[in-house]
């Protein structure tokens, strides 16, 4: 089956940089996505990597290494509003007709003053 592992919790101070890692095991691979979810809110899409390397979107960047089955989300200039849960997700191209996402265990980010 598919599995995605993330650290359960990360704490950082406002203005700092934090990296949230994701390691995955899937039978196929069609991309790694990242989602943010605030308490009581819906998950919202942040970024997507289909190929190796870094994708940058404002303060957020996402990295993928397909050979290592590994990716990370990098958050820069942390703000209090970044306190949320972050999930990586893989589309493996096999299960669900290739259209479904499998979500990681989730990382709760706490930003402190």
Partner 1 sequence: SAVISQKPSRDICQRGTSLTIQCQVDSQVTMMFWYRQQPGQSLTLIATANQGSEATYESGFVIDKFPISRPNLTFSTLTVSNMSPEDSSIYLCSVVEGGAYNEQFFGPGTRLTVL
Task: Tell me the β-bridge partners of 90.
Answer: 32, 102
Report the residue number, 53 or 98, with the smaller CB distance to partner 1: 98
**Beta bridge partners of residue 18, listed in sequence order:** 75
Nearest distance, CB of residue 11 and partner 1, angstroms: 16
Instruction: Indicate whether 31 belongs to the interface with partner 1 (CB under 8 A).
Output: yes
DSSP 30: S
Q: Find the helix or strand (DSSP H, E) in which 46 lies.
A: strand 44-49
Q: Which is nearer to partner 1, 34 or 75 (CB)?
A: 34
Q: How far is the CB of 94 from partner 1 (least distance, A)?
A: 13
In Å, how far are 54, 101, 110 from 39, measured between CA atoms? Answer: 28, 21, 12
One of 44, 57, 65, 79 touching partner 1 (CB under 8 A):
44
Beta strand 32-37 with 53-57 is unpaired
Binding segment for partner 1 among 19-27, 40-48, 56-64, 67-75 (CB under 8 A)? 40-48
Nearest distance from residue 50's CB to partner 1, in Å? Answer: 8
Q: Are 47 and 73 in contact (CB under 8 A)?
A: yes
Q: Does 101 bind partner 1 (CB under 8 A)?
A: yes
CB of 76 to partner 1, least distance (A): 22
């Amino acid at each position: 089956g598919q599995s995605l592992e993330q650290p359960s919790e990360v704490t950082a101070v406002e203005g700092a940089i934090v990296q949230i890692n994701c390691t995955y095991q899937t039978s196929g691979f069609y991309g790694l996505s990242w989602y943010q979810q605030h308490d009581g809110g819906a998950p919202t899409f942040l970024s997507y990597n289909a190929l190796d390397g870094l994708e940058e979107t404002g303060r957020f960047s996402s990295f993928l290494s397909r050979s290592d089955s590994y990716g990370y989300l990098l958050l820069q200039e942390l703000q209090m509003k970044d306190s949320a849960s972050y999930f990586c997700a893989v589309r493996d191209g096999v299960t669900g007709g290739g259209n479904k996402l499998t979500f990681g265990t989730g990382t709760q980010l706490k930003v402190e003053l």
